[in-house]
Amino acid sequence: MKRNENREGIKGMANPGRYGIERVSYWLMRITGLGLLAYLIGHIYETSSILNGKSVWDSMLQLTQTTQGHIILTLVIGMCVFHTANGIRLMFAHGGFGVGKPTRPDYPYIPNSQNMKNKLCIYASIGVAALAMMYGLSVLFGE
Partner 1 sequence: MRESIIMKIHYGTALGAVVLVAVHVLFRITMMSYGDSLQYENVIANYKFVPYAIMLELILVLLSVHGFNGLRVILIELKQGRSYEKAVTYGCLAAMAILIAYGSRTILMTSMGMT
Partner 2 sequence: MAEEQSPTEASSKTVTLRIAKSNPEHDSASQFAEFKVPYERWTTVLDAILDVKKHMDHSVAVRYSCRQASCGSCGMKINGRPGLACFTKISELNSDVVTVEPMNNYPIVRDLVVDLEGMFSTHKKMKPFIINEESEVTANTKEFLQTPEQVEEYIQFSNCIKCGLCNSACPTMATDSSFLGPQALTQAYRYVADNRDKGKNERLKIIDESHGIWRCHFAGSCSQVCPKGVDPAMGIQMLRGYLLGFKK
Nearest-approach distance from CB 94 to partner 1, in angstroms: 8
Q: Which of 72, 90, 137, 140 binds partner 2 (CB under 8 A)?
A: 90
116 lies in the site for partner 2, by CB under 8 A: no
Count of CB atoms within 10 A of residue 10's CB?
8
131 lies in the site for partner 1, by CB under 8 A: no
Q: Residues 52 to 81: which contact partner 2 by CB under 8 A?
A: none
| 3-state SS class at 104 | coil
36 lies in the site for partner 1, by CB under 8 A: yes
Q: What is the DSSP letter of 53?
A: -
Among 82, 78, 81, 42, CA closest to 63: 42
Cis (ω within 30 of 0) for the bond into 111? no
Which of partner 2, partner 1, none does residue 99 bind (CB under 5 to 8 Å by kind)? partner 2
Half-sphere exposure for 40 (CA within 13 Å, toward CB):
8
Residues in contact with partner 2 by the rule CB under 8 A: 3-10, 12-13, 18-20, 22-23, 25-26, 29, 90, 93-97, 99-100, 102-107, 109-114
